[in-house]
Amino acid sequence: MRPEEHPISPSLPWRTSSAFTMAMIGLLSRGFLHGLSRTEVNGLDGFLKLLDQRKDVEGRERGLITVSNHVSVLDDPMVWGALPFRYLRSPDNLRWGLGSYDLCFTNKALSTFFSLGQVLPTHRSKHSQFGGLFQPTIAQAIRILSKGPFIHSNDPPETPNPSLASPDISDPFASGHLTFSTNGTDTFPAPSAYLNRRHGWVHIFPEGKVHQKEDRTMRYFKWGVSRLILESNPCPDIVPMWIEGPDEVMHEAREWPRFIPRPLKRISITFGERLDVEKAFGDLRERWKRLHERESSNAPGGKLDVGVLTDGLKYAEEAVDLRKECTMRVREAVLKVRRQRGLSDEDPKVGLAETYRSEGTGKEGKMDDGSWVTDT
């Protein structure tokens, strides 16, 4: 497919429904934050300035990653209610999220709703053999952040893309969709296939689960975020964020009715400054690039598509080290915003995966250290 044949955007009915869904959710969130809660938003001006610069998709030069702590099941979408309504109306300039496959994509109605709401289906290893760092959805996120579009990333250039013809369970409209699969048989809209979705915005909660703790410390970060930073091209902008209060709105210990968000709580949402990514991650990206070049030269055709990894890039010691170091630096950036909020420093061991090993996998609810953990 030649570049001029790349579709600019999904079908009009799809876009309209998506814009409507995003705006409704945005309005509800905004109403809850500013009508039913006592909400304080810090650093919003700087963040809106960044969104303003990104308004024109053609003019964008890079993607955007926002990264934050995760304190309740409603963090996303609730925190985006901090944005003024005119931003909530422009889905092309709003976040893509990663949502649990086993919660958000269990049937066609939910799949459609969450796909329209710009959420990507993400398998969790605990619940699915398709989970983990190398699942197609992470590649999809990397591509959204990069300079797309990516239509037939895994096919040799001249074969027609089979996904062009595949039925799309998530698109209720006849016009069809470019799709990707998370498990080899399901199909989901592939946002990175469209020109107007390039250099997009992805939000990630690297803790991977809700963590509510009195002293407001975070769990360790999973490595998905490091893939987004190391592999997206060019390096996206990164804005660390800190959230407090949604844990009171949806405390894991709440009683009946559990599904009702509690009003009149104090909520604070802090947008940190955009990181100097060259300074923060330039050396790691350089090392990744060298590793990538070495590995690509052994790949068929001497080239690897964005988001596609060889075993060496998955498991070699250097690759693992880079992810570890990168993830640690991201966590440090989020901790810096936490510090701005006047919270005292954490015990360094709360940032280590080993600390949580005694939990065993699959445990939810109240932990021995007094925190509440939910798997979302």
DSSP string, 222-250: PTHHHHHHHHSSSPPEEEEEEEESHHHHT
Task: Decide whether 104 or 239 has the Cβ nearer to ligand NAG.
Answer: 104
Peptide bond before residue 77 is cis, with ω within 30 degrees of 0: yes
**Euclidean distance between CA atoms 274 and 160, whole angstroms:** 40
| Count of residues in the chain | 376
186 binds ligand NAG (CB under 6 A): yes
According to CB under 6 A, which one of 157, 184, 302, 360 is a site residue for ligand NAG?
184
Contact 318, 287 (CB under 8 A): yes
By rule CB under 6 A, what count of residues binds ligand NAG?
A: 4
Q: Using CB under 6 A as the criterion, what x/- string covers residues 225-254 for binding ligand NAG?
A: ------------------------------
Task: Decide whether 120 or 322 has the Cβ nearer to ligand NAG.
Answer: 120
Going by the DSSP 8-state scheme, the letter that residue 261 receives in this structure is: P
Half-sphere exposure of 104 (CA within 13 A, CB side): 25
Q: How far is the CB of 128 from ligand NAG (least distance, A)?
A: 8
- Select from 16-24, 46-54, 180-188, 256-264 the region that touches ligand NAG (CB under 6 A): 180-188
107 binds ligand NAG (CB under 6 A): no
Counting runs of H as helices and runs of E as strands, what totals does the chain give?
12, 12
SS3 23: helix
Task: Decide whether 89 or 127 has the Cβ nearer to ligand NAG.
Answer: 127
Q: How far is the CB of 172 from ligand NAG (least distance, A)?
A: 16
Q: How far is the CB of 111 from ligand NAG (least distance, A)?
A: 8
The residues in 290-309 that bind ligand NAG, with binding defined as CB under 6 A, are: none
Q: How far is the CB of 165 from ligand NAG (least distance, A)?
A: 19
- Select from 47-55, 183-191, 205-213, 228-236 the region that touches ligand NAG (CB under 6 A): 183-191
- Select from 149-157, 184-192, 307-315, 342-350 the region that touches ligand NAG (CB under 6 A): 184-192
Q: How far is the CB of 185 from ligand NAG (least distance, A)?
A: 4
- Residue 345 is encoded by which pair of tokens? 């420093």
289: left (phi over 0), alpha (psi -120 to 50) or beta: alpha
Task: Decide whether 185 or 344 has the Cβ nearer to ligand NAG.
Answer: 185
**Euclidean distance between CA atoms 116 and 91, whole angstroms:** 10
Half-sphere exposure of 285 (CA within 13 A, CB side): 15
Task: Decide whether 16 or 183 has the Cβ nearer to ligand NAG.
Answer: 183
SS3 98: strand
Task: Decide whether 108 or 290 has the Cβ nearer to ligand NAG.
Answer: 108
Contact 81, 31 (CB under 8 A): yes
- Select from 60-68, 145-153, 179-187, 315-323 the region that touches ligand NAG (CB under 6 A): 179-187
Task: Decide whether 53 or 183 has the Cβ nearer to ligand NAG.
Answer: 183
- Residue 241 is encoded by which pair of tokens? 């964020």
Q: How far is the CB of 164 from ligand NAG (least distance, A)?
A: 20
Task: Decide whether 185 or 361 has the Cβ nearer to ligand NAG.
Answer: 185
Contact 53, 228 (CB under 8 A): no
Q: How far is the CB of 107 from ligand NAG (least distance, A)?
A: 9
Task: Decide whether 156 or 184 has the Cβ nearer to ligand NAG.
Answer: 184
185 binds ligand NAG (CB under 6 A): yes
- Select from 178-186, 192-200, 312-320, 336-344 the region that touches ligand NAG (CB under 6 A): 178-186
Contact 83, 29 (CB under 8 A): no
**Euclidean distance between CA atoms 285 and 17, whole angstroms:** 38
Closest CA to 274 of 336, 217, 231, 224: 336
Residues that bind ligand NAG (CB under 6 A): 183-186
